[in-house]
């Protein structure tokens, strides 16, 4: 079956430092990976959508300079939160899908706490 792993599951960083999180797809080819953030008391906001062999598309209020993403192959993606501050805390979810399908398989998320 299709599985998505995320690492780390939980992490704490000091304000102003950076944190890298990873997403691994197993059992299918992740042609596109979407990164979401769920801030406290909010829903899952789309940060960016990365499709292999295409430019990464960032949503309004999210930039490559703040959330650089790497999607080097069909099974792996990573995202870094640069200069993390309090407003960056929350649950970061990656959703991967294959081909032209709509269904996204989600990882368990990386919970970021910023001190």
Partner 1 sequence: GQQVKQSSPSLTVQEGGILILNCDYENDMFDYFAWYKKYPDNSPTLLISVRSNVDKREDGRFTVFLNKSGKHFSLHITASQPEDTAVYLCAAANQGGSAKLIFGEGTKLTVSS
DSSP structural state of residue 48: E
Residue 110 CA to residue 60 CA, distance in Å, equals: 22
- What does the block give as tokens for 18? 């950076």
Shorter beta-carbon distance to partner 1: residue 71 or 97: 97
Is residue 85 helix, strand or coil? coil
Interaction between residue 60 and partner 1 (CB under 8 A): no
Count CB-CB contacts under 10 A for residue 12: 12
Does 104 sit near partner 1 (CB under 8 A)? Answer: yes
Q: Is 109 in the site for partner 1 (CB under 8 A)?
A: yes
Q: Does 34 bind partner 1 (CB under 8 A)?
A: yes
Confirm or reject binding of residue 61 to partner 1 (CB under 8 A).
Answer: no
Residue 8 preceded by cis peptide, ω within 30: yes
| Contacts with partner 1, residue ranges (CB under 8 A) | 4, 32, 34, 36, 42-44, 46, 49, 51, 57, 93, 95, 97, 100-104, 106-109
């Amino acid at each position: 079956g299709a599985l998505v792993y995320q690492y780390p599951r939980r992490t704490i960083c000091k304000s102003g430092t950076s944190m890298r999180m990873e997403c691994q797809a197993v059992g299918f080819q992740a042609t596109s990976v979407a990164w979401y953030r769920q801030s406290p008391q909010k829903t899952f906001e789309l940060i960016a959508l990365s499709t292999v062999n295409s430019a990464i598309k960032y949503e309004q209020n999210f930039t490559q300079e703040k959330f650089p993403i790497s999607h080097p192959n069909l099974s792996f993606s990573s995202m870094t939160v640069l200069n993390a501050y309090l407003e960056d805390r929350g649950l970061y979810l990656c959703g991967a899908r294959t081909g032209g399908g709509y269904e996204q398989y989600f990882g368990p998320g990386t919970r970021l706490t910023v001190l």
